[in-house]
Amino acid sequence: MFSKEESRLLRQEFWTSFGKSFPRKWILYDTKIKGFSFKFHFDTKKALVALDLEDDLENRIIYWEKLQSLQSILREDYLPEVYFEEEFYLDNGKEISRIYLPLDHKVSIHNKNSWQEVMVFFNETMSKFEAFFEEYRDIISD
């Protein structure tokens, strides 16, 4: 069991190590589309890469429909195992729409032995998500 401070330091060390191991500028929140962002998530139980739609319901529906129309392309050409969840609830209870790919087994940010695997997964998966977004940005943002 780790104290809050130990856990915070481990998280900080992981993200610093990730940035040094894979030094590049990720799109993340810089999509130029309100409420449309890419995220890395790594905690004590899982790791995943996500595309989140967090705007008001009307805009979420508009972008969700566009992404659903591209679903077969995303799966066939980029991320075959990706999940689409139109109604996804964050830990704080907020409802969003999420497209995500989890690492297929349990990992923990508290276990340094799993860090390299997660870093490689993050790099490969986010690179594919971003390539899809760049290729179809005009369709998504129109």
pLDDT digits (tens, 9 = 90+) for 61-102: 999 999 999 999 999 999 999 999 999 999 899 999 999 999
- pTM comes to 0.92
Query: Average model confidence (pLDDT) for the chain?
Result: 95
Give the total number of structural domains in the chain: 1
Taking Cα atoms as reference points, which of 86, 91, 102, 92 lies closest to residue 50? 102
Q: Does residue 1 register a pLDDT over 80?
A: no
What's the burial of 125, exposed, middle or buried (CB within 10 Å: 0-12/13-18/19+)? buried
Confidence at residue 2, expressed as pLDDT on a 0 to 100 scale: 81
Alpha-carbon 98 to chain mean position:
9
- CB atoms closer than 10 angstroms to residue 38: 19
pLDDT digits (tens, 9 = 90+) for 27-56: 999 999 999 999 999 999 999 999 999 988
Q: Which range of residues forms the domain containing residue 56?
A: 4-141
